[in-house]
Amino acid sequence: MKRRGILNAPLSGHLARLGHTDLVVVADAGLPVPPHVPVVDLAVVLGLPAFTDVLDALLDEVVVEHAWISADAEAGPPAGWVDARLAEPAERVPHDRLKAMVGDARVVVRTGEATAYANVVLRCGVAFPV
């Protein structure tokens, strides 16, 4: 058994295969995902697990060099949730553009979050100097 980190086997496998510039999405319970994009669905009921809990777990495992959130997230708590956890604030993009970016993701991690616009696209970096 793993001593620490992400225990969910499918999610752990997806994360292990990520490379530089790959996109990972942490999504609320309602974000549409194109059929060709793999989804690790962690949602149990609305609210569980929370977006922030899942984002924290991913940020402990993945190097992130850039992030995008919906400009609509600015009106509620999701913008603060994301920005508080990153070295630089997430780039704001129109919500339709964010949804289009989901089609390029290597994996989407669906949470049980029921807060509007609680979605972030993360671009992977590398864990060594370039």
Look up 20 and say whether it is catalytic: yes
Amino acid at 127: A
What pLDDT sits at residue 130? 82
Q: Is 87 annotated as a binding residue?
A: no
Task: Indicate the length of the chain as a whole number.
Answer: 130
- 73 pLDDT exceeds 90? yes
Residue range 21-25: mean pLDDT, rounded: 98
pLDDT in tens, 96-115: 999 999 999 999 999 999 99
Q: Is 119 annotated as a binding residue?
A: yes
- 2 pLDDT exceeds 90? no
Q: pLDDT-based confidence at 51, cuts 50/70/90?
A: very high
Q: Is 117 annotated as a binding residue?
A: yes
What are the residue ranges spanned by the domains of the chain? 20-124
Pull the structure tokens for residue 112.
């049980």
Pull the structure tokens for residue 84.
């508080």
What pTM value is reported for the model? 0.97
Q: Is 96 annotated as a binding residue?
A: no
Q: Pick the catalytic residue: 14, 20, 36, 66?
A: 20
- 67 pLDDT exceeds 90? yes
Helix, strand, coil: what percent of the chain each, to 5? 30, 20, 45
Domain 20-124: top CATH class? alpha beta
Mean pLDDT score of the chain, rounded to an integer? 97
Collapsing DSSP to helix, strand or coil, 66 comes out as strand
Strand order in the sheet with 107-110: 39-41, 107-110, 23-27, 120-124, 64-70, 91-93
Residue range 63-75: mean pLDDT, rounded: 97
What pLDDT sits at residue 78? 97
Q: pLDDT-based confidence at 45, cuts 50/70/90?
A: very high
